[in-house]
Amino acid sequence: KLRQVFNQGVAEYLAAGIMASRYIGGIYHRRDHLGDPGGRAPFRVVEADKQRAALDFLIER
């Protein structure tokens, strides 16, 4: 039981790091198509403040 709890904790820690790392130098993508009403740009850069926050999160941990 203790091993399961430990492994789950490590897995959650790893998942948080992976999710945060996607914000650094990342982009948001959308599945809008040309001609869609209210269509948006397909790609948008992650805002600089979110990238810095993600980097700080990774450095602190």
Q: Yes or no: say if 25 and 52 are a contact pair by the CB < 8 Å rule.
A: no
Mean pLDDT on 33-47 = 86
Q: Is the pLDDT score of 32 beyond 90? A: no
Q: What is the pLDDT of residue 21?
A: 81
Q: Kindly report the average pLDDT of the chain as a whole number.
A: 87
Which domain does 21 fall in, by range?
A: 2-60
pTM above 0.85, yes or no: no
Q: Is the pLDDT score of 11 beyond 90? A: yes
Total number of domains in the chain: 1
Which among 57, 46, 8 is positioned nearest to 24, based on CA atoms? 46
Mean pLDDT on 30-34 = 85
Q: If you ran DSSP here, which 8-state letter would residue 9 be given?
A: H
